A = this chain, B = another copy of it.
Amino acid sequence: MTFGRSDSVAHPFDVDTRVIPIGAARFSAHISGRWNTFGGRAFGGYGLAVCLRALDEVLPSADPLVLSAFFLSAVRPGPAEVSTEVVRVGRRTATGEARLSQENRERLRMVATFADLRTVPKYTALFGAPPKLPRPERCVDLVESTVGPRISVSQRVECRAPAASGWRAGAPTGRPCAEFWMRFREPRDPDLSSLALLVDAAAPAVFELGAAGSTTLELTVHLRAHPTPGWLACRAQTRYVIGGYHEEDFEIWDSDAKLVAQSRQLALLHRMERALE
């Protein structure tokens, strides 16, 4: 036995989403500070990955297929508890609920259906295509190419786009959409549970409208296929800002040009640094 060895070689994603059984369908977790967004809070997708890991312990099906998470209050670095409930186990799918709490206060509630994505019918028809991007090495690192405050999730997740974002240079483009490559900075192949984290790991598309921040209220993720190792091509888009609320759609395509994840969130703009036209 090599004490500590697994920790010293394991990837931050795997270490930081670990859950330990502490009772009937209950787990303890430790929210790391390595996945923070602004304000010292863990970014939303990290909480999802922790909840998925707990559900994976209690549901018989292998793969997360669809999840919906409601963000109730900020998840912060420190101890957490995840309580789970098996809602239904069917022949083909299984559904469960996870509640992540800190200091006895529920922070995140997720319902998810698992299935086996390796044994599916052959029916496939696509009416959309992956983003057309120059090769990653010909793109710029969206964080490294700019100055400004850094958040720890940017040290975990790398985004590379053909050109730097307008908002990062203080000049929002007015177009709330973006296409870019994504991967973990510390090398790790993507899998379904890491896709659920990655759909929420990039800067909100509404930053290109001059938004100073955005808080996710609800996030739904569809996991469509097991990703092939390599860079992930992503597309983020907001089409409707109405009364301060906005949706954001996110697609992730793998290195085989296969759609592997699709998400939509409803979020609330904090404030606008410039007027919308």
Among the stretches A7-15, A47-55, A122-130, the one at the interface with B is A122-130
- In the complex, A111→B239 CA distance in Å? 24
Q: Is the CB of B243 within 8 A of A222?
A: no
Q: Is the CB of B127 within 8 A of A176?
A: yes
- In the complex, A218→B245 CA distance in Å? 22
Interface: A143 (CB within 8 A): no
- In the complex, A111→B160 CA distance in Å? 35
List the B side residues contacting A154 at CB < 8 Å. none
Q: Contact check: which of B113, B220, B245 meets A220 at CB < 8 Å?
A: B220
Q: Contact check: which of B88, B218, B241, B245 meets A106 at CB < 8 Å?
A: B88
Q: Is the CB of B124 within 8 A of A241?
A: yes
Q: Is the CB of B225 within 8 A of A243?
A: yes
Interface: A153 (CB within 8 A): no
Q: Is the CB of A247 within 8 A of B262?
A: yes
Interface: A155 (CB within 8 A): no
Q: Contact check: which of B93, B240, B262 meets A224 at CB < 8 Å?
A: B240
Q: Is the CB of B243 within 8 A of A66?
A: no
List the B side residues contacting A240 at CB < 8 Å. 125-128, 224, 259, 262
Q: A109-B87, A109-B111 are in contact. Are A276 and B125 (CB under 8 A)?
A: yes
- In the complex, A113→B209 CA distance in Å? 25
Interface: A133 (CB within 8 A): no
- In the complex, A177→B128 CA distance in Å? 13
Interface: A269 (CB within 8 A): yes
Interface: A29 (CB within 8 A): no
Q: Is the CB of B238 within 8 A of A259?
A: no
Interface: A72 (CB within 8 A): yes
Q: Is the CB of B222 within 8 A of A247?
A: yes
| Closest B residue by C-beta to A96 | B70
- Scoring A113, A217, A222 by chain B CB atoms within 10 A of each residue's CB, the highest score goes to A222
A102 to chain B, nearest CB (A): 14
The 9 listed contacts between A and B (C-beta, < 8 Å) are: A66-B266, A70-B87, A73-B88, A95-B109, A109-B111, A121-B244, A122-B243, A123-B244, A125-B277
